[in-house]
Structure 1
Amino acid sequence: MEELNKETPAKRKLGLFDAAMLVMGSMIGSGIFIVSADVMRNLGSGYWLIVVWVITGIMTVAAAISYGELASIYPKAGGQYTYLKEIFGKMMGFLYGWGLFAVIQTGTIAAVAVAFGKFTSYLIPSLNDAAPIFQSGGYKITWIQILAIGVILLLSYINTKGVESGKWMQNIFTGSKIIALIGLIILGFLLVKNNFWSENMSFGWSAFKNLKADASGNFLKSGWESISGMAIMGGIAAAMVGSVFSSVAWENVTFVSGEIENPKKNIVRSMVLGTTAVVILYLLVNFIYLNTLSRDGIAFATNDRVAVEASQQIFGNGIGTIIMAILVMVSTFGCVNGLVFAGGRVFQTMAKDGMFFKAAIHNNKNGVPAKSLWMQCIWASVLCLSGQYGNLLDMISFVIVLFYMITVFGVIYLRFKQPNLERPYKTWLYPVTPIIYLVIGAAFCGLLLIYKQQYTWPGLIIVSLGIPIYYIIKKKEQQL
């Protein structure tokens, strides 16, 4: 106990602006620059591309508004883990925390860090051209993966130096990418020479089509085939996998509740302001894609890097590629920082509950959970080397939405279970707002279960592996 008393406690150093920057910085990574290509291949129309992003935006803001009520009731570090544990019990909290450490948080850190490395290779081609450091069969370790690990190590180290260090890093990089995105949006309308907006929107609502590929994997521009019935809904759900994953991680701000000033008000404000701003930015960026590129230009963008193609149309081939590479580097670097900064607080809270390694409990002299941050760093680095983070993340959007749904349902459940509980903030338009999220989320998950099982069962298996681990931990607790 004496050792616990000596540790430096966390201090509330994050204001509303800092919290909003964390929300936005954690959301905007590499997804918005890539996933619209896959959405267009699934749907084939500018109208449906916008519909997918609008539905995703409605989901995101509705969830943030609902989470605000729980944040005001439980203004503690750990955020979503704490909400699930307090409402549904330790096992539900542990399963979320287990999934977060196994792949949700760490896998996202790895994927975004590797994206940083890949776009760096645009500016330093030798990174792409260099021979692998190690190769055995289909497995290899490249310099891009090493650079990604270096970024994770650097940002983990910076965040062990105190909340102020992580805060300023987050504010600078998030502010930079927001300004850059706004600039890209404005110039995308002013400088573009060939305007494709009318062409992309001329397909109308009836042009719901799916792009096929030949046996060699080459895209067939004549291979668009009309789809009807329930398959339309399945196509929308499949297209939303990327947009949903590009719009998660806003809840990271709840992980650091213990370090936010006036958390009962500022957490909900930061979530609503941050998610709304990002949703608007995402829509405007997609308007730029539709304005600067043809339908085929979006769907067939090289390596799905639709933002690079758009930037080349705006600024020219050479400078456009460089500008976009720098923008994505700034975006991904700031996103990794936000994820690293927030994630360690959840694992520390789990450790205090006996649900994680005991070493993660303590703060260092700077008042931050350094050992928890390093554990997160090590596993994220392992996932970088594994090369499997991308596959895991494709499969985890389903599980992320499931946990969102359970948490949003917790708002309704608590209203019935504990109606007299103090609620400094109450969900706007309750119960309409949480029901909107639950309906859309249920449709998304249900359609994936029917049409795209490869996006569902692997994530469920990863989370389910936490069940025996939970009972092992519980048994050890009983033996003490």
Structure 2
Amino acid sequence: MSETKFKPVLGLWDATMIVAGSMIGSGIFIVSADITRNVGSAGWLVGVWLITGFMTMVAAVSYGELSGMFPKAGGQYVYLKEAFNPLVGFLYGWSFFAVIQTATIAAVGVAFARFSAYLFPWMSESNILLPLGFIDISAAQVTAIIMIIFLTWVNTRGVKEGKLIQSTFTASKLIAVFGLIVFGFLLVKQNYWSANWQTGFGAMQDLGVGNNGVTPTGWKEIGGIALLGAIAAAMTGSLFSSDAWNNVTFIAGEIKNPQRNIGLSLFLGTLIVTVLYVTANLMYLYVLPLDGIAYPNADRLAIAAANQIFGPAGQTVIAVLIMVSTFGCNNGLILAGARVYYTMAQDGLFFKKAGELNKNAVPQWALWAQCVVACLLCLSGRYGDLLDMISFVVVIFYALTIAGIFILRKTRPDVPRPYKAFGYPVLPALYIVMGLTFCVLLIWQKPVFSGAGLLIVLIGIPLYYIALKKQKAES
């Protein structure tokens, strides 16, 4: 027997843990190395994270208005559909299914496996289990796939099971990351704070940037438009690390008092994570020299920091922390993502089976469809490329969604708004300008992957009209 509607069983604490838990994966432990190679100074390393945090929080508090207006499953898909038209909503939902959510799940799953290999070496990417010629399937990829399948199965059992994993693992990793930061400042024997801050905001870029921790081929001073381009390139990592905060809007149908709790959880979750991310980077600047931040072994920055703090045990400490972090992160992504496909199916714009709930009141078919795509992306082996595409596509849709606030204020003035976008119209407009500027600069810096991301979005246009034609034929 199947259920016909979602059950509101998640409170404010649960919603906040979904926001924070979906944001914190592996990024904060890795991407500051690439950021440093792009901008080359302590000031701009922290500056990139502050800009990202500002954009994330402005977007989150702006979404509070939309979540109060449309407190139902589907989140951003619904907001875009209501503000613009069903086509724009579909393009987001299609991109979400094709790359945004599924590629993020895949990348986080592989990060879990990579760091698990510190404790269980047979899980490493170098352990090739199936050499097929055109693709080599490693133990790390298989581990990631097993993790994704397991968490998908858990979430088909009901939202309470997913909630328990999310709250437990998110609380654990928040405490652990906070502890790492505190111990970094208290226990390290030699600090590099003064030396690192002598670089100030004098931006430098590694001539070999993008080569993932190789010996530097030299640095060059940058400024003006070149600095803006370097910041945009650096922000692909920080934006990925700060993304997925909007996942809580997808499960609005399962949250108690969604008009209040979604907006509040967005604010609290993004605030907690932004503070944690900025202080983590301050800790890196305290315990490692700038070259040590830019060139840790295989970009495993947190392990380099932990070795300075805890000695040889640091590697194990960070491996366990990242395993906990990525496991909880992927649970939140898997739990929330399927609700978008469910809502699209209800509108006749996705596979019909995705619009059905099982006896546990969760969209089981949509969960497994998401699982299949994420597992296939685990086999791609091109996670950095996927993240570049994700960053470009995600920010375009964030900017469009926030533009929807301006549109809905004119076209739907009578819809109740329990929250109103903080700083309207200045802060939402500023986000749109910053977001579009980032996208333009990213096209300039990484045209291949940005173009691929745009192509994925555009493929959705014919798919939309095929779905409409099928819908008419069935009616």
Name the TM tier (shorter chain): over 0.9
The partner residue of 2:56 within 54, 60, 68 is 60
Q: Which amino acid aligns with 2:452?
A: P
1:225 partner SS: strand
Instruction: Structure 1: state its 5+ residue gaps.
Output: none
The equivalent residue for 2:83 is: 87
Query: 1:266 is matched with which residue?
Result: 261
The worse-fitting range, judged by mean Cα deviation, of 298-307 and 55-64 is 298-307
Letter in 1 for 2:428: P
> Aligned pair 1:296/2:291, yes or no?
yes
Seen in structure 2, the aligned counterparts of structure 1 residues 353 and 117 have a Cα distance that, compared at 3 Å, is same
User: Number of residues paired by the alignment?
Assistant: 474
- d(CA) in 2 for partners of 1:342 and 1:95? 18
Question: Contact 2:385–2:449 (CA<8 Å) still a contact in 1?
Answer: no
- The offset of 1:475, in angstroms, is 1.5
SS in 1 for 2:118: helix
- Give aligned-pair identity as a percent: 53
- 1:410 is matched with which residue: 397, 404, 409? 404
Counterpart CA distance in 2 for 1:435 and 1:44 is 30
Aligned to 2:197: 201
The equivalent of 1:12 in structure 2 is 8
Q: Does 1:376 align with 2:370?
A: yes
Please state if 1:457 is matched with 2:422. Answer: no
Contact 2:213 2:299 in 1 (8 A): no
Q: Closer, same or farther in 2 for the Cα pair 1:369/1:221, shift >3 Å?
A: closer
Q: Counterpart in 1 of 2:219?
A: 224
The verdict on how the C-alpha distance between 1:224 and 1:74 changes in structure 2, with shifts beyond 3 A counting, is same
* Structure 2 equivalent of residue 187 of structure 1: 183
Q: Please show how residues 81-480 of structure 1 align to structure 2 within 5 Å.
A: 81-128=77-124, 131-137=127-133, 139-205=135-201, 207-213=202-208, 219-221=214-216, 223-316=218-311, 318-480=312-474
User: 1:126 Cα shift?
Assistant: 2.4
1:70–1:83 Cα contact (<8 Å) kept: yes
- 1:133 is paired with a residue of what secondary structure? strand
**Quick one: which amino acid aligns to residue 350 of structure 1?**
M
- Paired residues of 2:158 and 2:361 also in contact (CA < 8 A): yes
Residues 38, 209 of structure 2: 8 Å contact kept: no
Aligned AA (2:473): Q
Q: TM-score, normalised by structure 1?
A: 0.96
Note the C-alpha offset of 1:113. Answer: 0.5
Aligned partner letter, 1:264? Q
Q: Bigger shift: 40-49 or 408-417?
A: 408-417
Q: Give distance in 2, aligned partners of 1:10 and 1:329.
A: 31
**Amino acid paired to 1:119:** F
Aligned equivalents of 1:200 and 1:387: distance in 2? 35
Distance across 2 between alignment mates of 1:222 and 1:216 = 10
Partners in 2 of 1:470 and 1:294 — Cα distance?
52
Q: Which residue of 4, 21, 25 maps to 1:25?
A: 21
CA distance 1:272–1:214, change in 2 (3 Å) = closer
* Shift of residue 303, structure 1, vs aligned partner: 1.0
SS in 2 for 1:210: strand
Distance in 1 between residues matched to 2:378 and 2:58, nearest whole Å: 33
CA distance in 1, matches of 2:361, 2:414: 35
384-393 or 152-161: bigger deviation:
384-393
CA distance in 1, matches of 2:309, 2:258: 42
How far is the alpha carbon of 1:7 from its aligned partner?
2.5
C-alpha contact (below 8 Å) 1:396/1:455 kept by paired residues? no
Separation in 2, partners of 1:335, 1:441: 24
Q: What is the rounded CA distance, in whole Å, between the counterparts of 1:103 and 1:403 in structure 2?
A: 13
Gaps of 5+ in 2: none
The CA RMSD over aligned residues, in Å, is 1.7
More off after superposition, 434-443 vs 238-247: 434-443
Change (3 A) 1:473 1:63: same
Q: Does 1:48 align with 2:38?
A: no
CA distance in 2, matches of 1:158, 1:129: 26
SS at structure 1 position matched to 2:131: strand
Distance in 2 (alpha carbons) for counterparts of 1:268 and 1:402: 22
1:148-198 Cα offsets, whole Å, 9 max, x none, are 111111111111111110001000000000000010010000001110111
CA deviations over 1:362-382 (Å, ceiling 9, x no partner): 111111111111111111111
Measured in 2, the distance between the counterparts of 1:386 and 1:441 equals 28
Q: Which amino acid aligns with 2:282?
A: F
